[in-house]
């Protein structure tokens, strides 16, 4: 866990691909607990430390996660995520070059809880939710393409599902059509940047996460 930003009300960390944000049935230590422990030790706090989860990243995804350190920040950030006032930009590595170098994808997503998977449709279907993202081809390497994705809505597995529907499955994402997994169980999707107005101080916060280590992410020639 790397701390990218911290003040009295919020802490933003760069999550590695194997970490879970919140506790689940695996029983593995969630990132929220790691952050609590970090704050407890850093400030020598007795008793419980408040850490509020404001949003999640899928376990195999890396990048920026915002946590609240106060209940005031938590309730305001929750509202900001609901109203899409937190701008999130992702980088995704894909095998196939998209037909258009830039575009907006609009689909209707349904979620299968049992499979923990979403399905994208071109038209509205029962129980579907509208999903919108904007993508842009920003780099290429010998074998892969790098897409920058701006999320307009926040749906379950949205980027993974919509890019796969476009014929550009994310590298390592077996669930959505990638032929092979990554050795570390990650998928090549990284929450690269966040931009938002601070819930308490009202100043503009713009943050960027370092790229995951390794030649793959650093081997792109950016356009």
Q: What value does the CA radius of gyration of the chain take, rounded to a whole number of Å?
A: 18
Per-residue pLDDT tens digits for 8-46: 999 999 999 989 998 888 889 999 999 999 999 999 998
**pLDDT for the residue numbered 1:** 83
Q: Give the closest residue to 60 by CA, choosing from 148, 149, 181.
A: 181
Buried b (16+ CB within 10 A) or exposed e, 11-43: bbbbbbbebbbeeeeeeeebbbeebbebbeeee
The pair of three-digit structure tokens given for residue 128, joined into one six-digit string: 């579907």
What per-residue confidence (pLDDT) applies to 75?
98
Of the candidates 164, 40, 194, 30, which has an alpha carbon nearest to the alpha carbon of residue 98? 164
Has 184 been annotated as catalytic? no
Helix (H, G, I), strand (E, B) or coil at 53: strand
Instruction: Tell me if 121 sits within 8 A of 131, measured CB to CB.
Output: no
Instruction: Report helix, strand and coil shares of the chain as percent, to nearest 5.
Output: 15, 35, 45
Which pTM was predicted? 0.95
Which residue in 7, 24, 58, 150 is the catalytic one? 58
CATH number 3.30.2350.10 given to 2-222: yes
Domain locations in the chain as residue ranges = 2-222
């Amino acid at each position: 866990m790397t701390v990218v930003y911290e003040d009295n009300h919020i802490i933003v960390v760069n999550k590695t691909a194997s970490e879970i944000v919140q506790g689940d049935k695996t029983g593995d230590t969630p990132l929220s607990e790691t952050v609590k422990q970090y704050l407890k030790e850093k400030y020598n706090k007795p008793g419980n430390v408040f850490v509020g989860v404001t949003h999640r990243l899928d376990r195999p995804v890396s990048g920026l996660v915002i946590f609240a350190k106060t209940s005031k920040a938590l309730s305001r950030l929750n509202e900001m995520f609901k109203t899409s006032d937190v701008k999130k930009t992702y980088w995704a590595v894909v095998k196939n070059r998209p037909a258009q170098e830039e575009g907006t994808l609009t689909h209707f997503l349904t979620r299968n809880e049992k499979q923990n998977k979403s399905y994208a449709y071109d038209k509205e279907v029962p129980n579907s939710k509208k999903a919108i993202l904007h993508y842009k081809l920003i780099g290429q390497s010998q074998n892969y393409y790098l897409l920058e994705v701006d999320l307009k809505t926040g749906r379950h597995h949205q980027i993974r599902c919509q890019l796969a529907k476009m014929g550009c499955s994310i590298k390592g994402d077996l669930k959505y059509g990638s032929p092979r997994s990554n050795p570390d169980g990650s998928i090549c999707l990284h929450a690269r940047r966040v931009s938002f107005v601070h819930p308490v101080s009202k100043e503009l916060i713009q943050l960027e996460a370092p790229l995951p280590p390794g030649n793959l992410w650093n081997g792109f020639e950016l356009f």
